[in-house]
Amino acid sequence: MKYLKVIAFTHKQIELKELGKLVICQENLTDKLHEVKVRFGINEIFYLATCNRVEFVLSTPQKVDRDFAQEFIDALGIGLCTNAMDTFLDAASIYEDHAAMEHLLRTSCSLESLVVGEKEILAQLRKAYDSGREAGLTGDKLRVIMDCVVKTAKEVYTYTNISKNPISVVSLAYRKLKDLKLCANARVLIIGAGETNRNISKYLQKHKFSNFSVFNRTLSKAQQLANDLGGDAYELEDLKTYKKGFDAIITCTSAVEPIITTEIYASLLNGDTDRKTIVDLAIPNDTAAEVLEQYDVNFIEVHSLNEVAKKNLQERYHELSHAEAIIEQNINEFLVMLKQRRIELAMRQVPEKIKEIRHNAVNTVFAEEVQSLDKESREILEKVMNYMEKKYISVPMIMAKDILINSN
């Protein structure tokens, strides 16, 4: 666990609007991570970006401090100016070893989330790790860590009330949208067909909204969500020429530049002067700042949900100690497992060595004596040696584990 390092930029120290500057475009994310992995001698790495955090999880013997973080972020080509880089680095949280493990467990259990008790973060964390694994960026060390992360989160959500009557950024956004009292036949444009928009669409559909148009960079994904909603599917580029009007826009993409520019917004309005609603849950925002400056818009974004999130934390505060106790227990169990694993790795050659000794004894050292035995005697000898072989393998392993575990 001593090689586990985390570089975290979160809503606790950084404005959500600013966090978007650290988001890496998905199209070249894998290539960039492979490049820094080689350049900085990182054994394993994956990248997590949500609406309230950007984090890099590493397994590396390298010293990870502010200077490392600066070189690392610069190598990713995010394009921060000197002042912005300094601001982010001053606000960064860098964890290693036990503290890094605790941070990952707290994150997976939503204790570090903007909305404590939301379960989406576990799915987001697993998806981030799975993407890294599939890209060949992670290996065995982060695998066993993620096993513990998932196990712990499931226990917290099962054995505490921290997620009772669960709310999330999506549900909070829908509550604010509901307060605007849109009619059920309101024309809703959904931009992006990812998990966040799928989730908020379920709320809309549940409350009888039925007029949907889904836009996505990959048309097949737009079609899948549109089919679920009984709506129409379009490619993202079709926003520029869409003329059927709208009452509300729900947008959440992984784009690093605004999707809804003043030009596109004006085109979507097509002369309509009614006040519209935009729910923008993307980090960075999909809506250009100029749109909000030039048009009268009901605008709902992640940043605006802070006050509701704080109230939610107060309501769940008494459950935090229960969750933290589960986290501590799992860390202790994980440390024991790591020690046992070290023994297993150190002694993995023992079985082969014992088999070699046995083979040499039977076929060389005592070959004549063994051959002189009758069939029944050789069968008895075989049984005795099989028994002894198993004991010579298992007993030292058990004793070594006990010595190591009890030595502290």
Contact yes or no for 115/172 (Cβ under 8 A): yes
**What domains can be seen in the chain, in order of their start residue?**
4-159 (3.30.460.30), 169-308 (3.40.50.720), 338-406 (no CATH)
Rg of the chain taking only CA atoms, in angstroms: 28
196 is in an annotated binding site: yes
Catalytic residue among 25, 51, 81, 148: 51
178 is in an annotated binding site: no
118 is in an annotated binding site: yes
Q: What pLDDT score was predicted for residue 173? A: 84
Which whole-number Å values give the CA distances from 18 to 270, 293, 299, 316, in the listed order?
32, 18, 18, 28
Q: Tens of pLDDT along 186-206?
A: 999 999 998 889 989 988 888
* pTM for this entry: 0.69
Query: Which sign does the torsion angle of CA 113, 138, 405, 336 carry?
Result: positive
53 is in an annotated binding site: yes
Q: Tens of pLDDT along 133-188?
A: 999 999 999 999 999 999 999 999 999 988 776 667 788 788 888 888 888 889 99
Q: What pLDDT score was predicted for residue 76? A: 93
CB neighbours (10 Å) of residue 39? 11
- Between 282 and 350, where is the model more confident? 282
252 is in an annotated binding site: no
Q: Tens of pLDDT along 21-67?
A: 898 888 889 999 999 999 999 999 999 998 889 999 999 999 999 99
For residue 339, is pLDDT > 80?
A: no
Distance CA 408, CA 405 (A): 7
197 is in an annotated binding site: yes
193 is in an annotated binding site: yes
Which whole-number Å values give the CA distances from 107 to 53, 152, 167, 323, in the listed order?
10, 11, 16, 12
How much is the average pLDDT of 73-85?
Answer: 90
Q: What pLDDT score was predicted for residue 349? A: 75
In the chain the first and final C-alpha atoms are separated, in Å, by 17
Distance CA 47, CA 28 (A): 13
The reply to whether 252 belongs to the active site is no
Query: Which sign does the torsion angle of CA 266, 268, 270, 274 carry?
Result: negative
How much is the average pLDDT of 238-260?
Answer: 92
Q: How many residues does the chain have?
A: 408
